[in-house]
Amino acid sequence: MASIPCTTHLLFTSKPQISPSNPPIFTSQFLGIPRKLSWSTPTRLGPSNGSRATCWFKFGNRGVDAEGAGIYGSQTRDDFDRDDVEQYFNYMGMLAVEGTYDKMEALLSQNIHPVDILLMMAASEGDKPKLEELLRAGASYTVKDADGRTALERAANDEIKDFILNFSTQKA
């Protein structure tokens, strides 16, 4: 079960109920409590008065975690496509560095599966969480680009190479 802190922000105004024989009584349907006040003032529930709530959400069938619910780690090779490559290219700022999509287009035009392209990009960026996600999905670190380099050879450093090899060994 995941705990997600959330705060309620409800703004309500009490409505006066006036009868000739009674003084004004202000009530709130939200609180269900009649209040005797001389005028109506807006009340704010939320951080301004210190109220907080923790909401519990059950993910998936078992309600254990995001992976068990299929939110993370449940992707397969075929769940990745060209759009994922472009989004990652943009997200990691590669477009800003490269100035064009030429390198991305070159990889896509070589008939390399998008998940393997993403693995090469993540290895060159040293993005461990993305590497883990892609390796779990079945990305292959032995696929070569146009220059004949694999994800291992494109790795940002030795730590990333070891991460890929160790993860692949654990998976097998």
For the chain, the 3-state helix, strand and coil shares in percent, each to the nearest 5, are 40, 20, 40
Residue 62 lies in a domain: no
Domain membership of residue 63 (yes or no) is no
Alpha carbon 130 to chain centroid, angstroms: 12
Task: Copy the structure tokens of residue 25.
Answer: 């009584």
Domain total for the chain? 2
Alpha-helical runs (H) found in the chain? 82-91, 94-98, 102-109, 114-125, 128-137, 151-154, 158-171
Going by C-alpha positions, the residue among 116, 115, 82 that lies closest to residue 101 is 82
- Same structural domain for residues 52 and 92? no
Predicted pLDDT at 64? 55
Q: Which domain holds residue 84?
A: 77-171
pLDDT by residue for the chain (172 residues), tens only, comes to 444 555 444 444 445 555 556 555 555 555 555 555 545 455 544 455 555 655 555 555 555 555 555 555 678 899 999 999 999 988 888 877 878 888 888 888 998 999 999 999 999 999 999 999 999 999 999 999 989 999 999 999 999 999 999 987 776 5
* Arithmetic mean of pLDDT over the chain: 74
